[in-house]
Amino acid sequence: MIKTFSLFLLSFCSIFVLNAQTIEEMTAQKAAKTTELTALESELATLQGKVDGLKAEVADLTEKTTPYPRWTTGSFGTVGFNFTRFNDWFQKDQPNTSAANIGFALNGFANLDQKKYFWRNSAKLNLSWLKFDDKEIDTDEEGFQVASDAFNLTSLFGYKLSEKFAISSLAEYRTAILDGKLNNPGYLDIGAGATWTPITDLVVVFQPGNYNLVFSDNDDFDFQSSVGMKIVADYSKKLAKGVAWKTNFSTFISYEGSELNNWTWINGFSTAVKGIGVGLDIGLRQSKQEAEAQAIKIGSTDPVDNTLQLFYVLGVTYSF
């Protein structure tokens, strides 16, 4: 019994000693690695400072060696389409049908940068058509009908007061172009104000002196032109490799009544591998005048609601 107890006590003491040695060794290793880590972090901070300094020097040299005038141009687009056909498909209420949807969105820009001034130009076109033909009905519409129709053209000229601020003049033209909608209605905003570029690829235009000129051949509704304030914000960003986002918000605030206000917000997302990918364009808009004109067109007697207008195109993209 005593021999057994002695062996147990000896084993326990041996385990305790080994465990203590292991803790001491790990503590020593931790201290050594902590010292090594501190030294490496210090070296990394020094290297990061040198990298940031070199980047700034390269950017400065690039700025000084890039000749004026500096033109930047580009274009990209989204195309979406689908076609369906059913023959004697009796699970459907309409067993013989054909349908098609075709749409595209095109964007282009041409920007000039000079030492004392800039000139930025962009154009956007979004069109789509929809067709649904029931072969059992001879009187239904067989051709394509317009599903979305929007054209926008902007031109911004600015004289630089500093790197981020400029006095500027903006002209923006918007209209539809199909089914006799060209300039019916059409909107031309023109005026003067200031442009702010707080970060790369963000342009904000504030134009307190702006005239919103409305063109229309509509005999049933009298579109009103007015003086007001124009605000535009345009931003482009690469969210990840091959993934890009472009957003543009434009609003007119009339000094002559809120019923003459309007705003448009367009977002474009695209993925691209060697220029080809998937794209999504989404457009939102509100205009009380357009809502009232539409109510008259369809003969509605209900109070006019300033409905939120929407379009989107999802499909294949190609960057030129």
Cβ neighbours of residue 285 closer than 8 Å, sequence gap 6 or more: 262, 263, 264, 265, 308, 309, 310
Which residues, listed in sequence order, are joined to residue 236 by a DSSP beta bridge?
A: 246
Helices (H), the chain: 2-65, 288-298
Q: Would you call 260 helix, strand, or coil by DSSP?
A: helix
The lowest-confidence range among 128-137, 169-178, 232-241, 272-281 is 272-281
Query: Two tokens at 205?
Result: 């235009």
Q: Could you give the percent of the chain with pLDDT greater than 70?
A: 92
| Calpha distance 57→153 (Å, rounded) | 37
In 65-185, the DSSP E strands lie at 70-86, 97-113, 117-134, 145-160, 165-175
Sign of CA dihedral 282, 288, 294, 300: positive
The pair of three-digit structure tokens given for residue 170, joined into one six-digit string: 């903006």
Least confident span in 123-127, 182-186, 256-260, 271-275 = 271-275
Tens-digit pLDDT profile for residues 156-172: 999 999 989 999 999 99
> Can you tell me the mean pLDDT for 161-187?
94
Confidence of residue 257 (pLDDT cuts 50, 70, 90): very high
Token code pair at residue 177? 């172009």
The rounded radius of gyration (Å) of the Cα atoms in the chain is: 33
Which neighbouring-strand residues pair with 98?
85, 133
pTM here is 0.76
Confidence label for 234 from pLDDT (cuts 50, 70 and 90): very high
Spatial separation of the C-alpha atoms in residues 188 and 178, rounded to whole Å:
18
Question: Mean pLDDT over residues 248-263, rounded?
Answer: 96
What pLDDT score was predicted for residue 30?
A: 84
In the chain the first and final C-alpha atoms are separated, in Å, by 92
Domain 68-319, architecture per CATH: Beta Barrel (2.40)
> Is residue 19 scored above 60 in pLDDT?
no
Q: How many helices (H) and strands (E) does the chain have?
A: 2, 12
- What's the mean per-residue pLDDT of the chain? 87
pLDDT at position 2, please? Answer: 58
What was the pLDDT predicted at 20? 56
Band (319; pLDDT cuts 50, 70, 90): low
For residue 17, pLDDT over 80 is answered with no
Closest of 144, 151, 154, 225 to residue 181, by C-alpha? 151
Distant-in-sequence, close-in-space partners of 47: CB < 8 Å, separation ≥ 6: none
Nearest to 262 by CA among 297, 235, 294, 226: 226
The answer to whether the beta carbons of residues 207 and 228 sit under 8 Å apart is: no
Give the mean model confidence (pLDDT) for residues 12-18: 53
Tell me, what's the pLDDT at 233?
Answer: 96
Q: What is the pLDDT of residues 197-214, one digit of tens each?
A: 999 889 999 999 999 999
Q: Say if residue 87's pLDDT is above 80.
A: yes
- Total residue count of the chain as it appears in this document: 320
Residue pLDDT, tens place only, 102-148? 888 888 899 999 999 999 999 999 898 999 888 888 877 778 888 88
**pLDDT of 6 above 60:** no
The dihedrals phi and psi of 13, each to the nearest 5 degrees, come to: -65, -35
Over range 40-51, report the average pLDDT.
Answer: 89
Q: How many CB atoms lie within 10 A of CB 41?
A: 10
> Whole-angstrom Cα distance, residue 188 to residue 107?
19
Hunting for tokens 């020097």 — which residue is that? 57
